[in-house]
Structure 1
């Protein structure tokens, strides 16, 4: 195996498990919005706003989206970035989102992406409690027990067996071990996403 920066910047292996989603800009935006709104079953007064402008202590920020909700009588705000890229997301994008969270006094940040995240981006996100969601097509998540490698399902076939067109895999830090935790982030499993949105970074007590 090669050494040095190439290894450090390589996407996490798990993120490369599925092919990139064939998704339009409109489909991607709709997926992100509807996935976030699905947690209304778990959290109160959920509001998702696209292209929201927020005032921070050091200026204004034009966000791809924001989300507010209430839980336990408290109100929370989450900053949303949506990256429909063909290349892996770099660490600096996650760092900039973290700066925006701090400046605006927000609770958390989530980055939805159609591509994988570089290792440095994943490590930084885990430390600071930012969730990274890789969006793929639901049909790629279907596994057969065939002795030979079966071709991937078509979207039409996948729909007939109840698979969504698109689904997400969220990468966060396990609060107990700090290791990478992979969770489904989809409209079909809103409780998982709600737990991600409510989570704090492992070092929250020292922030």
Structure 2
């Protein structure tokens, strides 16, 4: 039986990525930059400090854009962690969102999320993303992943298959009350715009 401290299995489906802090930062910024095709004027700012109602807060990145004459702010926290992300970290991000008056908040992690963290995020509209190696997400032409990797695929394998080196997995409420997982990469900017920034591409095209 799952508890708040149990690692959410769906967020731990693939091995943790082998990436440097620099690669992680590039992945995060380019992922949001890709949404510019659907959101003209979008600005991604790495490492920004914002004053809130109860103090100032440092964010790994912020995203700003305008829509229908209104200005929107999205907060981004990037966790290059090995240990599962706890509920408390997601709660802190939600508190910061309220304090600075942001429109949305996104947490991107190289580690899986505990069940309590995932539940809190889904309840309060915090977007959660787990980063993994793209080579493990390859599916054949029938849309079915190979049943067993022996030996595990290499990055060269992934490049030959046309998969990005790193990809993200975003978790959101499913249509029938379950959990939906959407693959995130620069090749799918419409998903970045809708699920991470809260903008339907159709409304801005």
Which bracket does the TM-score occupy, shorter chain normalised?
A: 0.7 to 0.9
RMSD between aligned residues: 2.0
Q: Where does residue 194 of structure 2 map in the other structure?
A: 195
Correspondence 1:129 to 2:125: yes
Q: Where does residue 26 of structure 2 map in the other structure?
A: 30
> Which consecutive unaligned segments of at least 5 residues does structure 2 have?
200-205
> Which consecutive unaligned segments of at least 5 residues does structure 1 have?
201-207
User: Against the structure 1 CA distance between its residues 37 and 147, is the aligned structure 2 distance closer, same or farther, given a 3 Å change threshold?
Assistant: closer
Calculate the TM-score normalised by the size of structure 1.
0.87
Q: C-alpha distance in 1, partners of 2:52/2:13?
A: 38
Q: Once the two structures are superposed, what CA deviation does each residue of 1:110-136 show, in whole Å capped at 9, x if it has no partner?
A: 000000000000000011100000000
- The more displaced of 181-190 and 94-103 is 181-190
Calculate the TM-score normalised by the size of structure 2.
0.88
Q: C-alpha distance in 2, partners of 1:178/1:113?
A: 24
Q: Where does residue 63 of structure 2 map in the other structure?
A: 67
Q: C-alpha distance in 2, partners of 1:199/1:177?
A: 20
After superposition, where does 1:1-207 map in structure 2 within 5 Å?
7-143=3-139, 149-174=149-174, 179-199=178-198
- Answer yes or no: is the 8 Å Cα contact 1:12–1:119 preserved in 2: yes
User: Against the structure 1 CA distance between its residues 143 and 99, is the aligned structure 2 distance closer, same or farther, given a 3 Å change threshold?
Assistant: same
- Answer yes or no: is the 8 Å Cα contact 1:139–1:152 preserved in 2: no
